[in-house]
Amino acid sequence: MTGRAEFSLQGRRAFYFALLLAPPLLWLGIVYLGSLFTLLLQSFYAIDEFTARIVPEFTLATYRQLLTRPAHVDIILRTLLMAVAVTMAAAVIAFPVALYMARYAGPRTKALFYVGVMLPMWTSYLVKVYAWRLILAKQGIASWGFEHLGLMGALDKALAVPVVGGPSLASSYIGMFVVFVYMWLPFMILPLAAALERVPASLLQASADLGARPGQTFRNVVLPLALPGLAAGSIFTFSLTLGDYIIPSVVGAPGYFIGMMVYQQQGTAGNLPLAAAFSVVPIVLIGLYLMLARRLGAFDAL
Amino acid sequence: MPRAEPTFDMTPAIELRATRRAFGSVIALDSVSLAIAPGEFFALLGPSGSGKTTCLRLIAGFDQPDSGTILLDGEDVTNTPPFARNVNTVFQDYALFPHMTVAENVAYGLRVRGIAAAGRAQQAAAMLDLVQLGEFGARRPHQLSGGQRQRVALARALINRPKVLLLDEPLGALDLKLREEMQSELKGLQQRLGITFVFVTHDQGEALSMADRVAVFSQGRVEQLDTPRELYNRPQTAFVASFVGSANVVGRDAAQVLTGSGHAFAIRPELIELLAAGEPAPDGSVQCSGEVVNVLYHGASSRLRVKVDERTTLAVAWSESTGGGVPGLTTGARVRLAWRPEYAVPLRD
């Protein structure tokens, strides 16, 4: 009797769980993963150069094209370098902010900081990008600021640097870098602050108690325990930079980025296999990055 | 009365002089002075919020006093940061570094002092042997039990060979059996190493059984500083009498009724004698009678609560083997009590 009652109770629970989980699983499994899989499948097809039709036969020709044409390799390297630079800059800028928020700020200041970090995310992404184009324009407020601080010479020198420089901040890689860092900074600060907040104060006291100077405590205790947060944040900044196509098309030098290439190839050019192959690149790069982070012990403290 | 002056001739290992610390309007430590002798096993005992932990944090250097002086080995360290003090701490939550192995945790104090890796490993292994965890060096703290973590914390704190070891509720997180084991182990370790141990506890049994001397804290002040024996037999205030062991605290008004002297006193339940009907009271003893309010059976002895007047109820310990056959010890029974006047310990107000 009781056995049957338990069984029916368990059966009912399983039914309710299935009911709750079905919509998200269908969404994730079929709509999202399914379309991702078809996209990946496309990358193993090739386009017929004459008819511009996709030939649904397995081939590595598209990948060969992706990795051998210098223009394509340039796009990949350019995007990768920008993603690495943006991630490193965001980490360096975010760390002190996150540390202050997590460990030193009083409750009110902390709330103020959290709002301050998240507030920009409430504004439209496009509005912010175009605003930055105006800020960085030749007659914009940035160069006005440099002029009034007497730093115009420094700005001109920076813009004169080959490759990263350009006629103005708005049309150089330096400007693009600034916008990327600004855009993704909250995604670095928030996981980092969360990780730092989880470090018990007694660990820092124990370190000092055992004779570690503040710098040693930072290197030996704070930094290793913040690594999972740093890894999480850098995955955001890294993958967001790899995939973005709006910032590179609105601000900065005319060179193509992976996201722009995907957008263009699947749209105007109609080369779906090449677009698909390009979109595989960030996935592979992020996979490699995660493996590297794991190797370096970023997740050991989890 | 808290003793400001040390009762020994050597330079104290630790000395607090009129140390005061307030958090906002809450006075955590109110002008506390005490001196701890080198090699002493010293307990800071008190309920939560009594100031004992603040006192420990000030000695460790995690916090600075608002006024007063802290001396370690005769040297003023009031403003010395924790990393420059020759004092190590065993934390209540052990505070082991989760991203390091047990051996790395133990060697940490050597590492930050720039001792080479080989020497570090050797000393850490020796230290782990000392706390009987020789085989656990390669594990992570989360793979150990509470008692093992406690030992790691102890080994880590001892590796720097501190002059003073501070222990913050070191046994609080352990279960009863393990706690008793660790009590005798800590005591043995302290005697072998000859280091001054200062430990914070709210458990009076722990303080009495381990410490050479105990400072009883209440509301930011030291109520009494004495050996466990004196503390138990000669409590000086009502607070100490009721916090250390359990004693009947008889206030001035009730004392007036019972003894006619009008001086507050404390008396231990086991020193009150229960008289059989018609049995004469011993010569010169204080006597009274009352009604049994309840009886709690504790195995070796029973504890009665006897209401002797409207506002006064006395606890009386009664043992079947030694207390004789007093019949009818049930709720509502009338009984007579007696005690020798010297057993009543006079209290300060």
- Is B60 close to A225, i.e. CB distance below 8 A? no
Q: Which structural domain range is residue A28 located in?
A: 2-43
Lowest mean pLDDT among A26-35, A176-185, B154-163, B217-226: A26-35
Nearest to A221 among B88, B89, B97 (CB): B97
Alpha-carbon distance A9 to A6, whole Å? 5
Rg (chain A; Cα; Å): 24
What is the predicted pLDDT for the residue at B102? 95
Whether the CB-CB separation of B106 and B156 falls below 8 Å is answered with yes
Helices marked H in chain A = 2-26, 35-43, 61-68, 70-99, 107-118, 125-136, 141-148, 152-160, 173-197, 201-209, 214-217, 223-243, 246-250, 258-266, 272-295
**Judgement on whether residues A173 and A211 belong to the same structural domain of the protein:** yes
pLDDT > 50? residue B140: yes
Nearest to B112 among A202, A205, A210 (CB): A210
ipTM: 0.82
Chain B residues within 8 A of A203 when measuring between CB atoms: 95, 97
Task: Please name each of the domains of chain B with its CATH number.
Answer: 14-240 (3.40.50.300), 268-342 (2.40.50.100)
**Judgement on whether residues A133 and A230 belong to the same structural domain of the protein:** yes
What is the predicted pLDDT for the residue at B2? 44
Query: Residue A228: which CATH number?
Result: 1.10.3720.10
Inside any domain, residue A67: no
Whether the CB-CB separation of B325 and B315 falls below 8 Å is answered with no
Taking the alpha carbons of B276, B279, B284, B286 in that order, is the dihedral positive or negative?
positive
**Judgement on whether residues A222 and A290 belong to the same structural domain of the protein:** yes
Query: Could you tell me which residue, A70 or B322, shows the higher pLDDT?
Result: A70
pLDDT band at B3 (very low <50, low <70, confident <90, very high): very low
Distance from CA of B191 to the nearest CA of A (A): 22
Chain A residues within 8 A of B108 when measuring between CB atoms: 207, 210, 212, 220
List strands edge to edge, sheet with B221-226: B87-90, B164-168, B196-201, B41-45, B213-218, B221-226
What is the predicted pLDDT for the residue at B147? 87
Q: Which residue of B has its CA nearest to A221?
A: B97
pLDDT band at B94 (very low <50, low <70, confident <90, very high): very high
Alpha-carbon distance A78 to B318, whole Å? 89
pLDDT band at B324 (very low <50, low <70, confident <90, very high): low
- Is A202 close to B81, i.e. CB distance below 8 A? no
Inside any domain, residue A200: yes
**Judgement on whether residues A283 and A241 belong to the same structural domain of the protein:** yes
B226: β partners: B214
What is the predicted pLDDT for the residue at B281? 78
Instruction: Please tell me what DSSP assigns to residue B101.
Output: -
**Judgement on whether residues A33 and A131 belong to the same structural domain of the protein:** no
Residue A268, Cβ density class (10 Å: 0-12 exposed, 13-18 middle, ≥19 buried): exposed
**Judgement on whether residues A143 and A217 belong to the same structural domain of the protein:** yes
pLDDT in tens, chain A (302 residues): 455 556 677 788 888 988 999 988 888 888 888 888 888 898 998 888 777 788 888 889 889 989 999 999 999 999 999 999 999 999 999 999 999 999 899 999 999 999 999 998 888 999 999 999 999 998 889 999 998 998 888 888 888 888 888 888 889 999 999 999 999 999 999 999 999 999 999 999 999 999 999 999 999 999 999 988 999 999 999 999 999 999 999 998 888 999 999 888 887 778 889 999 999 999 999 999 989 888 877 776 55
Mutation test of the interface with chain B: which of A203, A210, A213, choosing the one with the most B Cβ atoms within 10 A?
Answer: A210
What is the predicted pLDDT for the residue at B321? 59
**Which has the closest alpha carbon to B89: B199, B245, B249, B219?**
B199
Inside any domain, residue A124: yes
- Is A210 close to B109, i.e. CB distance below 8 A? yes
**Judgement on whether residues A113 and A247 belong to the same structural domain of the protein:** yes
**Judgement on whether residues A155 and A290 belong to the same structural domain of the protein:** yes
Q: What is the pTM assigned to this prediction? A: 0.79
pLDDT > 70? residue B327: no
What is the predicted pLDDT for the residue at A1? 46
Nearest to A203 among B62, B89, B95 (CB): B95
Q: Which residue of A has its CA nearest to B156?
A: A210
**Judgement on whether residues A254 and A140 belong to the same structural domain of the protein:** yes
Q: Residue A20: how many CB atoms within 10 A of its CB?
A: 10
pLDDT > 50? residue B1: no
Whether the CB-CB separation of B315 and B337 falls below 8 Å is answered with no
What is the predicted pLDDT for the residue at A7? 64
pLDDT tens figures, A192-217 = 999 999 999 999 999 999 999 999 99
Counting residues of chain B whose pLDDT is more than 70, the rounded percentage is 95
Q: Which residue of A has its CA nearest to B61?
A: A209
**Judgement on whether residues A129 and A257 belong to the same structural domain of the protein:** yes
- Is B109 close to A211, i.e. CB distance below 8 A? yes
List strands edge to edge, sheet with B265-267: B248-250, B265-267, B345-346
Rg (chain B; Cα; Å): 24
Inside any domain, residue A61: no
Alpha-carbon distance A31 to A35, whole Å? 6
**Judgement on whether residues A82 and A7 belong to the same structural domain of the protein:** no
Alpha-carbon distance A224 to B322, whole Å? 64
**Which has the closest alpha carbon to B15: B31, B4, B28, B24?**
B4
Contacts of B333 (CB under 8 A, 6+ apart): B291, B292
Query: Could you tell me which residue, B171 or B349, shows the higher pLDDT?
Result: B171
pLDDT tens figures, B183-210 = 888 888 898 888 999 999 999 988 998 9
**Which has the closest alpha carbon to B89: B164, B161, B36?**
B164
Mutation test of the interface with chain A: which of B64, B80, B83, choosing the one with the most A Cβ atoms within 10 A?
Answer: B83
What is the rounded average pLDDT for all residues in chain B?
88
Chain A residues within 8 A of B87 when measuring between CB atoms: 209
**Judgement on whether residues A124 and A252 belong to the same structural domain of the protein:** yes
- Is A216 close to B112, i.e. CB distance below 8 A? yes
pLDDT > 70? residue B320: no
Number of structural domains found in chain A: 2
Chain A residues within 8 A of B157 when measuring between CB atoms: 209-210
pLDDT > 60? residue B251: yes
Chain A residues with CB within 8 Å of chain B CB: 200, 202-203, 205-213, 216, 220-221, 224-225, 300-301
**Which has the closest alpha carbon to B16: B39, B28, B33?**
B33
- Tell me the average pLDDT across B147-155: 92
- Is A202 close to B111, i.e. CB distance below 8 A? no
Chain B residues within 8 A of A221 when measuring between CB atoms: 97
Inside any domain, residue A55: no
Q: Would you mind telling me the total number of residues written for chain B in this entry? A: 349
What tokens does B213 get? 């001397």
Whether the CB-CB separation of B47 and B243 falls below 8 Å is answered with yes
Inside any domain, residue A60: no
pLDDT band at B246 (very low <50, low <70, confident <90, very high): confident
Inside any domain, residue A51: no
Mutation test of the interface with chain B: which of A196, A209, A221, choosing the one with the most B Cβ atoms within 10 A?
Answer: A209
- Is B156 close to A211, i.e. CB distance below 8 A? no
Distance from CA of A298 to the nearest CA of B (A): 10
